[in-house]
Amino acid sequence: MRLTYPTNVKVLKVPCTGRVDVIHILKAFENGADGVYVAGCLEGECHYLVGNLRAKKRVGYAKQLLEECGIGGERVAMYNLSSAQGQRFAAIALEMTEKIRQLGPNPMKKGSRVMGHGSRENESQEQVARTEAKS
Amino acid sequence: MSASNLEKILKSGNFAVTGECGPPRGSDAEVVRKKGAHLKGCVDGVNVTDNQTSVVRMSSMSASLILKEIGFDPIMQMVCRDRNRIAIQSDILGASALGINNLLCLSGDHQKFGDHPTAKNVYDIDSMQLIQTVKRLRDDGKFLGGEEVKGTRPDLFIGCAENPFADPFEIRAMRLAKKAAAGAQFVQTQCIFNVPKFEKWMEMVRDLGVHEKIYILAGITPCKSIGMARYMKASVPGMDVPDELIDRLKGVPKEKVAEEGIKIAIEMIQHVRQIKGVAGVHIMAIEWEEKVPEMVKAAGLYPRPQVN
Amino acid sequence: MIVANRKPFEELLEFIKPYSKILLLGCNECVTVCATGGAKEVAILASELKMHREKEGRPIEIMEHVLERNCDPEYVESLKPMVGDYEMVMSMACGCGIQFVAEHYREKLVLPAVNTTFDGVTEEHGVWSERCLGCGNCILDKTLGICPVTRCAKSLFNGPCGGSQGGKCEVDKDTPCGWQLIVDRLKEMNMLDKYMEIQPLKDWSTSRDGGPRRRVREDLKI
């Protein structure tokens, strides 16, 4: 299909989104990611039955935690798609990148800049970590 | 026999009528007198609530004394929520010393429902054990700790409450039997709206023979408005308000709803009076005390008998 | 197990406000099982706190450390080599653990990151509920394994009160009425007549009312 999607998306593979824990999402932000989305199989199609449903709940909890600590819950999202949906995969990558671009860089990095050890380049390098489900 | 007028009325075989007076949220004795005045001559005893629904009010003992001074036979309510066994026994001695003749033993509403939901509750003893405590002080002259009461023992007619509409229904009659066995001499029931259920409960009470051991006063509450009926149905724990009652109130013009509420209550009094084992009614006209005389008269229970 | 809840984030931020290097302590026992203060929750809280402080421009260094138990001296003493390196200790252990660490390191500020709530069980994954108040004088024999002291909001011994409806407690519609449970159990066991026994006054002196409790086994002392 030779579809293109934004280069700022860094893909992290896991056997199933059921493997994704809240701490993985938080660590991505702690390490400077501007947004994180979890891409799981379609609901009802999980090879492990409910892995993607658990991931959905954990993403929900991570949203709360990110809201609480001032990073912003809207920077994390859950998507569901099948491995046959290449078009959708590219569209989601674009959509999420656009959303995060509008939100601006991870606010934690602004704080570092005040302290003098952040850099402006960070702003143009939105990182979106993505975890992929194996279908 | 105690000096209780209510006890005399019941023991002489008269159908008893008791009312209720909630103390004010301030220190004005006049408010108690005014509220009480509505009930003058229509009741054999008047319940004085003890911080009902866990809202802070003038103490039950003080308001009871104020009512006693204007000629009532107060039924002082006492809950286990706010006092431990030391305070409870002390208040029992004090109430009796002030000439209060009736004590209604209750667990008390949970503080969650009141104006101090962050308070600590006590519940050192429960209502069943409170009944036993009064009886022990009065009949055995002994404190819970085992020591003798010095001199005069408290003399109180012991009451309790029971809710025939709460769950589990199958033990509600047994629970009354248990209270009677603990020493309760009269019981006032929760407000009755569901008459068939009350009749069923009375049948279970009679099967256990409890109606012969304790005087049963049926709880009557007139509905002032459709909103009140709905509120009690939805928000008051342990209250059973059938839809038919709400529909009947809805069926009359708006300005006649209150009148219809009174009418229903009067019919209810006449109905429960026919039930075997019912020895009286306890009218809880919540913030509507002025309507009690009308209800008592219409039910044919006026004037109240004088028994010595 | 002892069940706890994490304190609100804002409250914790206040606790650590003056500090830039802290020890965040967890426990591998009860608070791990109730998912409040085990290694995972310690890592999550540390991450949240670090990000918040980074955003504020006041980064904080947080050492995450989880003890096998916080209520036994041998484990608590194992902190000795590290405690001195941190300005304060914030603990996600239960109230017992927090106190025990504070007792051992008197020079160090030890603050709670959790509210310790109750002694309970795991009803299902993610749901815990209270079972025991530790009154020191068990009556579960009389109520067939359901504790009225703990499971009745009024600790009634001769319940249920008039607020029991549809099997639920008047205080909270999601809480079963303890006395409904007892009556159901008595019926199941064909022992409903037991309900007629009036339970005597409770001796609360064995409970917290008798003062802080202590247990000594001379034969075990070294």
- Number of structural domains chain B divides into: 1
Domain positions in chain C are: 2-118, 133-208
Neighbours, chain B (3 or more CB pairs < 8 A)? C
Q: φ and ψ at A110, to 5 degrees?
A: -60, -40
- Within 8 A by CB and 6+ apart from B132, the residues are B182, B183, C198
In this predicted model, what pLDDT tens digit does every residue of B286-301 receive, in sequence order?
889 999 999 999 999 9
Q: Does C175 touch chain B (CB under 8 A)?
A: no
Q: How far is C50 from chain A (nearest CA, A)?
A: 8
Query: Taking a contact as any Cβ pair under 8 Å apart, which residues of chain C between 184 and 213 contact chain B?
Result: 184, 192, 195-196, 198-202, 204
Among the partner-chain residues C44, C52, C53, the one whose CB lies closest to the CB of A22 is C44
Q: Does B85 touch chain C (CB under 8 A)?
A: yes
Task: Note the Cα C77 to chain centre separation in Å.
Answer: 22
| pLDDT higher at A3 or A124 | A3
Which fold is adopted by the domain C2-118? Rossmann fold (3.40.50)
Tell me which residue of A43, A9, A46 sits closest to A131, measured CA to CA.
A9
Angle at which helices B29-37 and B60-69 pack, to 10 degrees? 60
What pLDDT sits at residue B235?
Answer: 85
> Which amino acid is residue A5, in one-letter code?
Y
Question: Are B190 and C161 a contacting pair at CB < 8 A?
Answer: no
Among the partner-chain residues C43, C55, C58, the one whose CB lies closest to the CB of A23 is C43
- B193: helix, coil or strand? coil
d(CA C209, CA C217): 22
Q: φ and ψ at B230, to 5 degrees?
A: -65, -40
The per-residue pLDDT string of chain B (308 residues; one tens digit each, 9 = 90 and over) reads: 678 999 999 999 999 999 999 999 999 999 999 999 999 999 999 999 999 999 999 999 999 999 999 999 999 999 999 999 999 999 999 999 999 999 999 999 999 999 999 999 999 999 999 999 999 999 999 999 999 999 999 999 999 999 999 999 999 999 999 999 999 999 999 999 999 999 999 999 999 999 999 999 999 999 999 999 999 999 887 889 999 999 999 999 999 999 999 999 999 999 999 999 999 999 999 889 999 999 999 999 999 999 98
Domain positions in chain A are: 9-132
Q: Does C177 touch chain B (CB under 8 A)?
A: yes
Q: Does A124 have pLDDT greater than 70?
A: no
- On whether residue B107 sits in a domain, the answer given is yes
Q: Does C52 touch chain A (CB under 8 A)?
A: yes
> Do chains A and C touch by CB distance (3+ pairs < 8 Å)?
yes
> Do chains B and A touch by CB distance (3+ pairs < 8 Å)?
no
CATH number for the domain spanning B153: value is 3.20.20.220
Q: How far is B67 from chain C (nearest CA, A)?
A: 28
Question: Are C157 and B177 a contacting pair at CB < 8 A?
Answer: no
Neighbours, chain A (3 or more CB pairs < 8 A)? C
- Within 8 A by CB and 6+ apart from A15, the residues are A134
**Residue A131: beta bridge partners?**
A12, A38
What pLDDT sits at residue A111?
Answer: 56
Q: How far is B86 from chain C (nearest CA, A)?
A: 13
User: What would the DSSP string read from start to end of C16-79?
Assistant: HTT-SEEEEEEESSHHHHTTSSSHHHHHHHHHHHHHHHHHHT---EEEEEEES-SSSHHHHHTT
Q: Does B208 touch chain C (CB under 8 A)?
A: no
Count CB atoms within 10 A of the CB of residue B150: 9
Count CB atoms within 10 A of the CB of residue C103: 11
What pLDDT sits at residue B308?
Answer: 80
Q: How far is B9 from chain C (nearest CA, A)?
A: 27
d(CA C26, CA C177): 34
Question: Are A65 and C48 a contacting pair at CB < 8 A?
Answer: yes
Angle at which helices B172-182 and B195-207 pack, to 10 degrees? 50
What pLDDT sits at residue A2?
Answer: 81
Residues of chain B contacting C192 with CB distance shorter than 8 Å: 171, 174
In this predicted model, what pLDDT tens digit does every residue of C44-65 receive, in sequence order?
999 999 999 999 999 999 999 9
Q: Does A63 have pLDDT greater than 80?
A: yes
In this predicted model, what pLDDT tens digit does every residue of B63-85 receive, in sequence order?
999 999 999 999 999 999 999 99
* A23-46 mean pLDDT: 97
Q: What's the half-sphere exposure (Cβ side, CA atoms, 13 Å) at B134?
A: 33
| Cβ pair C101, C110 in contact under 8 A | yes
Q: How far is B116 from chain C (nearest CA, A)?
A: 14
Question: Are C198 and B190 a contacting pair at CB < 8 A?
Answer: no
Kindly provide the residue ranges of all beta strands, DSSP E only, lying in B137-209, ordered along the sequence. Answer: 157-162, 186-191
Residues of chain C contacting B238 with CB distance shorter than 8 Å: 162-165, 170
Query: Taking a contact as any Cβ pair under 8 Å apart, which residues of chain B between 235 and 274 contact chain C?
Result: 237-238
Task: Tell me what percent of chain C is helix, strand and coil, each rounded to the nearest 5.
Answer: 35, 25, 40
What pLDDT sits at residue A104?
Answer: 96
Q: What predicted TM-score, i.e. pTM, was given to this entire model?
A: 0.91
Question: Are B129 and C183 a contacting pair at CB < 8 A?
Answer: no
In this predicted model, what pLDDT tens digit does every residue of C78-129 receive, in sequence order?
999 999 999 999 999 999 999 999 999 999 999 999 999 999 999 999 999 9
Question: Are A108 and C55 a contacting pair at CB < 8 A?
Answer: yes
Q: Does C72 touch chain A (CB under 8 A)?
A: no
> Which amino acid is residue B52, in one-letter code?
Q
- On whether residue B71 sits in a domain, the answer given is yes
What is the side-by-side strand order in the sheet with A76-80?
A: A9-13, A128-132, A35-40, A76-80
